[in-house]
Structure 1
Amino acid sequence: MQFEHPALLWALFLLLVPIIVHLFQLRRFKKTPFTNVAMLQKVVSESRKSSTLKKWLLLLTRLGLLTALVLAFAKPFSSNETALAPKETVVYLDNSFSMQAQKEGAALLEKAIQDLISNFDDNGQFSLITNSETYANITINDSKNELLAIRPTIQQLRFNDVLLKASTLFSKNQGTVRNLVFISDFQETLGEVPDNIPGQKLFAVALRPEKRTNVSIDSISIESGNGLSQSNLTIYLSGNHEEDNLPISLFDNDTLIAKTSAAMDQTGSAKVIFSIPAGDDIKGRIEISDGGLPYDNNFFFTIGKPEKIKVLVVANANSDYLRRIYTEDEFDLTIARPDQLDYSLIEKQNTLVLDGLTRVPQSLSEVLKDFMANGGNLVFIPSKEADLGNYNQMLSFFGAPRFLEWVDAPKNISNINFDHPILASVFEKQVTNFQYPKVEGHYKTNGVANTILGYDGNEPFLYQQGNLYAFSAPLHSENTNFKGSPLIVPVFYNMCLTSLKRPRPYEILGRPTQVDLPVQTGQDNILKLSLDGEEFIPRQRSFANKTSLFFDANPHIAGTYDITNGQQRVGRISFNYPRTESLLAYHELSGATITEQTENLEDTFAVLNAQDEITSYWKWFVILALVFALMEMFIQKLIS
């Protein structure tokens, strides 16, 4: 038992007063003459016994009365160990997309916010962490509007990230009880619950939906159809659905252009194919309605005529093989001899190919430095009759490996870097039974670079150094059969594609993305993105022949954005939310180191309030004092 005013207990020494009064009171007896007292002796004896009993009973009741009053004013109480310790509370509110799942007719996130407002003390101070924001030392009264404005977000903190943020919000005071209230559906995307959380009490509020059914549109692909006028749009879905057929609609802007239904197979996946006009500009949106999470029920994409990539080939020899690769529908190809080259054309190109030049003029080398600094790609193919000193002077500008002596010995091109971006999409898997091309001779190189294709022994046949792609052997038919190899088309095609990163049909929000547009912005102009009247300016870099846009944290809303240069629309780009929250795969928390686990906030705050519960006893001691007072009254009247 503890006392709110323990100093008053010193008043218990007052108990000595009635003891002294009752045990040591002095009386003077006055003698009175009386004729005969024999008849009164028996009465006097009985009266003395009754008086002694009455005195002892009065002493006990008065001692009890005084003790009860002293204890009542000292206010005794009992509590657990942490009731009187200072407490701090940090609340993590998971506002990821999976918290859109329904329970009792409301989204888990909405219900969690309402329960937090209803159960937390209006003036109690706490800190709040969401996946996108942090609020330190707030109260419900001051922050109710901010709480009601919390919306689902693309971001998802990992469990350890939440603990790290919470540790920065808790004070360093010794003896403080640190309560972390973790409100989430505990999807597996949170990561594992740590085995040990030192210095914090973790209260897990595991919110789970009534139904764990959800279907998401995962991805799409666009391929040429059977006819030249049609393309096939393939839509891939995954999840589970209670009904056999799931309606799926295809829109161009807001116009419905096709509708069908999808049936999920036993593996929880489905594929739907729409035929769409080839070559048309489509601001596409795919829509389903499955009753699950709403965030993954729409998928945005853009189909448009791609901008042609400008390619300039400077060659002494016949370069017609490049015409078969760089076709007119995708590329704007120009072939020129070195003695007829107009240097002013170079800055307007995306890719420059130097094919079989015996030497690179100094003036061209200077132009190449500016060209590559502005984001252009250079493909260098040497000649057997090369001026190596001239070659190496140019290569040194770009920090590339130098060419050494010519090696007149056959070698197979058998080392394929399957992970390089140039070849990553070419092979479905790593192959070993490939018919490798070969060379009759090549230049040895000296230096470190990113090898794309190499010979036996790991010497590079084709390497990358920044925007430079360099071959170590001539490609004419007398030296190599590489022109007849299946590798030549994807290698040259993809080397050129990297010089102008055109918008793809769709991008995923939150992933680093670069998009190049063949737009020259003036000094005072910048490219903007707009969606439903809202604009933002992405990070961008302007070159002589293009403008590069970079996306990472922004945007954060899915949709098809217009890219504008001033008042003119110069392109579109579609973004979709990642589907990581769509699986509805949850952690089982039974074995985790959690102080308390509940399924609703009401029970959690009941446990938290129990930590502060104090049982007070002063009223009982007041009642006890009244009882002793009544007992004294009865003793005075009943015992004579």
Structure 2
Amino acid sequence: MHFKHPEFLYALFALIIPLLIHLFQLRKFQKIEFSNVQFLKAVSLQTRKSSNVKKLIILLTRMLLLACIILAFAQPFFTNDKDFDAPQELVIYLDNSFSMEAKGKKGPLLKRAVQEIAEAIPEQQLFTLFTNDEVFKEVTKKDVLNDLLQIGYSPNQLAYHTAYLKGKQFFSKNQESNKNLVLISDFQIKQNPLEISFDGAIVPKLIKLTPESKNNIAIDTLYLERNKNNDLTLAASVSSTNLSSASVPITLFDNDKLIAKSSVSFNEQAVQKISFSLKEGQDLRGKLVLQDPMLSFDNTRYLAINSPKKIKVLSISGSDDAFLKYIYTPDEFILTQSNLNALNYNTLGQSDLIILNEIETVPVTLLNALKAFVASKGVLCFIPSVKGNLKDYNELLNQLDATPFNALIPAENLITTIHFDHPLFKGVFDKKIDNFQYPKVKSYFPVNSTRSILSYTDERTFLYNHKNLYVFTASIASDKSNFKNTSLIVPVLYNVGKESLKQPVLYYQVGKLNSYDVQIPLDQDEIISLYSEQETIIPLQQNFTNKVRITTDETPTRAGMYTLTKGDEFFDHLAYNYGSSESRLKYHTLKPGNDYTVADTISLLFDELKENNRVQEFWKWFVIFALVFLLLEILLLKYLK
């Protein structure tokens, strides 16, 4: 038993007062003469015994009456929790990721969870609730009820261990308080095994919400490819969590205009490919839509195809560079060729890629211009000459923080190693090959680089990459090497050119780091915005001489079609889509242990918390007992003889 006001218990010492009065009560006796003393003595003895019993009973009722009054003021109560008098703290993590849109017995998991939380939490209970993208700190239900009912789905989900650590931060530093951390989620499998590394300081309570059905169909990826007739097609990878013969319609829109329609079924395979024909050079603000009632976020994928911007390539040559015309063709590139003596330095800042093709010296003016060009994110490709000035070459490489050359070795060497994992070869080879016809050089500058792209037999470097710089260590002139005659030269130089201007792709993923270049001239105070019907953002942007590099990370937050704008001017269209990891409806099996406990439902968990903190008060009973003893005393005084 516990007391709300234990200080009143000191009043129990007052019970000694009626006891003392009873023990030391003095009476004066009066003598009365009587003829027969024998009868008088007997009556006197009988009266004194009955009088003492009556007085003791009345004394007891009075002391019990007084004790009950004192205990009623002290307000005694019982509780199920031994730490009932400690402050109660409640923190709730509510997973609002896209997978929580799945339907449970009483509707979508997230909406049902919000409703049960609103019903279970007491009106005056202070609590903190956080989701994947919002925090409601130290509030009551009345404060945030409307906000809770309007919680939307988020493309991001906190890792469960991260949610645990974040939840711990919302508790006070009071060591004596009861800290209740509740994690509510469907506990979808995203890593295996389940990573919840709790430290034991706070044992969380996990509530797993399970959908009735785990059938879901999703559009996973979109990409462009050529069919067997070399026609351009849009390919989509569509997956289902269940095999089914039912046909699912898929529709392709350009803006809101229907341009193609097809269907897909999953009789034998859970992943199917579907293709749509496109026109060459077609600008497309596309949207691919399928009909599936389970999850809605993965039923739509946006895509944007813009007219590609031509990449500006400047070749500064000391020898024949005619071969570049066959690599940098006019449909994708603007190639400008010049020798060193006739070079217009104003063209350097307007280029995306500069190729130093076997010039023998590097003048200081050119060195400084190239250093500024690379610093502004331009790409430089350096091909040395066997007659080149080693001091000039190394001065250029040192200024660009690249690996310098050693003295020329006039010996033949074979190029035998392709570093397939380098981004320059992404999508070039279907598989690793080791029996190709090895190119060779007749002389080379020995270099050992950790960033090799192509290497010799002796593991020295033929081509390496350092940031925006690509360096050949040997001449590729026809009389010095047969590299021009091999199949490697085209993908190498072509991809170097493509890397110099990062063109927008079909779509980007919301919440991921994305970067691309746009050829938009900007004045000093001008900015580029991303505009859509849902939101307008100002992305991170770096302004260079001939382009602007756009970087997005945490924004935009919603999938859709966006437009690059500068003031009232509209430029390229960009598509953003949500990731597809939430589409896989597979869930962890929770095994309660020392690290965490598991509750079946939200309502049962909160009922348990209420039961542990429930207080049973008894002051009313002691008031009733006091009245009973008062009534008993009156009856004793009146009727007990």
TM-score (norm 2): 0.91
Cα-to-partner distance string for 1:159-180 (whole Å, 9 max, x where unaligned): 2322333333222223122222
Aligned counterpart, 1:580? 581
Cα-to-partner distance string for 1:591-615 (whole Å, 9 max, x where unaligned): 3546643344332322332343222
Aligned counterpart, 1:75? 75
Aligned counterpart, 1:224? 226
Aligned counterpart, 1:374? 376
Retained in 2: the 8 A contact 1:84–1:612?
no
Superposed, which structure 2 residues align to 1:129-140 within 5 Å? 129-140=130-141
Change (3 A) 1:61 1:367: closer
What amino acid maps onto 2:154 in structure 1? T
Distance 2:355 2:470 in 1: 9
Cα-to-partner distance string for 1:397-455 (whole Å, 9 max, x where unaligned): 21222222221233222233222211233334544444433323211137x56211112
Retained in 2: the 8 A contact 1:530–1:563?
yes
Change (3 A) 1:533 1:31: closer
What amino acid maps onto 1:621 in structure 2? F
Distance 1:510 1:166 in 2: 22
Distance 1:58 1:122 in 2: 48
Partner of 1:95: helix, strand, or coil?
A: coil
Cα-to-partner distance string for 1:468-507 (whole Å, 9 max, x where unaligned): 1110111133333322333222211111111100001111
Cα-to-partner distance string for 1:379-410 (whole Å, 9 max, x where unaligned): 11111222222222322321222222221233
Aligned counterpart, 1:194? 196
Aligned counterpart, 1:348? 350
Greater CA deviation, 455-464 or 590-599? 590-599
Cα-to-partner distance string for 1:213-233 (whole Å, 9 max, x where unaligned): 2222110121123446x4221
Retained in 1: the 8 A contact 2:561–2:576?
yes
Deviation at 1:299, TM superposition (A): 0.3
Aligned counterpart, 2:61? 61
Aligned counterpart, 1:167? 168
Cα-to-partner distance string for 1:520-564 (whole Å, 9 max, x where unaligned): 222343222111174222111222222211111111111121112
Superposed, which structure 2 residues align to 1:354-503 within 5 Å? 354-445=356-447, 448=449, 450-503=451-504
Aligned counterpart, 2:307? 305
The partner residue of 1:294 within 293, 296, 306 is: 296
Aligned counterpart, 1:126? 127
Greater CA deviation, 184-193 or 465-474? 184-193
Deviation at 1:293, TM superposition (A): 1.6
Cα-to-partner distance string for 1:565-619 (whole Å, 9 max, x where unaligned): 3333221111111112221222222235466433443323223323432222222
Change (3 A) 1:399 1:197: closer
The partner residue of 1:251 within 253, 256, 278 is: 253
Distance 1:567 1:279 in 2: 26
Superposed, which structure 2 residues align to 1:147-158 within 5 Å? 147-158=148-159
Aligned counterpart, 2:287? 285
Partner of 2:446: helix, strand, or coil?
A: strand
Change (3 A) 1:24 1:297: same
What amino acid maps onto 1:87 in structure 2? Q
Distance 1:367 1:517 in 2: 22
Change (3 A) 1:6 1:341: closer
Deviation at 1:56, TM superposition (A): 4.0
Distance 2:594 2:293 in 1: 34
Retained in 2: the 8 A contact 1:89–1:127?
yes
Distance 1:24 1:630 in 2: 26
Change (3 A) 1:494 1:628: same
Retained in 1: the 8 A contact 2:478–2:484?
yes
TM-score (norm 1): 0.91
Retained in 1: the 8 A contact 2:98–2:153?
yes
Retained in 1: the 8 A contact 2:531–2:564?
yes
Retained in 2: the 8 A contact 1:119–1:605?
yes
Confirm or deny that 1:185 pairs with 2:186.
yes
Partner of 1:357: helix, strand, or coil?
A: coil
Change (3 A) 1:610 1:323: same
Partner of 1:544: helix, strand, or coil?
A: coil
What amino acid maps onto 1:64 in structure 2? L
Distance 1:388 1:320 in 2: 25
Distance 1:595 1:280 in 2: 56
Retained in 1: the 8 A contact 2:106–2:112?
no
Distance 1:122 1:436 in 2: 78
What amino acid maps onto 1:143 in structure 2? V
Aligned counterpart, 2:506? 505
Greater CA deviation, 66-75 or 428-437? 428-437
Identity of aligned residues (%): 38
Partner of 1:188: helix, strand, or coil?
A: coil
Aligned counterpart, 2:240? 239
Distance 1:285 1:64 in 2: 84
Deviation at 1:47, TM superposition (A): 5.7
What amino acid maps onto 2:440 in structure 1? K
Aligned length: 638
Aligned counterpart, 2:4? 4
Partner of 1:88: helix, strand, or coil?
A: strand
Deviation at 1:516, TM superposition (A): 1.0
Change (3 A) 1:592 1:264: farther
Deviation at 1:267, TM superposition (A): 5.0
Distance 1:339 1:367 in 2: 15
What amino acid maps onto 1:296 in structure 2? D
Retained in 2: the 8 A contact 1:449–1:464?
no
Confirm or deny that 1:327 pairs with 2:367.
no
Partner of 1:208: helix, strand, or coil?
A: coil
Aligned counterpart, 1:612? 613
Deviation at 1:297, TM superposition (A): 1.1
Change (3 A) 1:592 1:568: farther
Partner of 1:463: helix, strand, or coil?
A: strand
**What RMSD over aligned residues (CA atoms) do the two structures have, in Å?**
2.8
Superposed, which structure 2 residues align to 1:538-617 within 5 Å? 538-593=539-594, 596-617=597-618
Deviation at 1:61, TM superposition (A): 3.1
Greater CA deviation, 432-441 or 40-49? 40-49
Partner of 2:407: helix, strand, or coil?
A: strand
Confirm or deny that 1:205 pairs with 2:201.
no
Cα-to-partner distance string for 1:109-140 (whole Å, 9 max, x where unaligned): 23333333333344433333222233433333
Aligned counterpart, 1:621? 622
Partner of 2:349: helix, strand, or coil?
A: helix
Q: Which runs of 5+ in 1 are unaligned?
A: none
Distance 1:243 1:36 in 2: 123
Distance 1:344 1:467 in 2: 20
Distance 1:399 1:195 in 2: 43
Retained in 1: the 8 A contact 2:241–2:585?
no
Partner of 1:525: helix, strand, or coil?
A: coil
Change (3 A) 1:264 1:295: same
Aligned counterpart, 2:536? 535
Retained in 2: the 8 A contact 1:240–1:264?
no
What amino acid maps onto 2:11 in structure 1? A
Partner of 2:406: helix, strand, or coil?
A: strand
Retained in 1: the 8 A contact 2:250–2:262?
yes
Partner of 2:302: helix, strand, or coil?
A: strand
Distance 2:11 2:140 in 1: 43
Partner of 1:412: helix, strand, or coil?
A: strand
Partner of 1:69: helix, strand, or coil?
A: helix
Greater CA deviation, 104-113 or 73-82? 104-113
Greater CA deviation, 204-213 or 255-264? 204-213
Retained in 1: the 8 A contact 2:245–2:267?
no
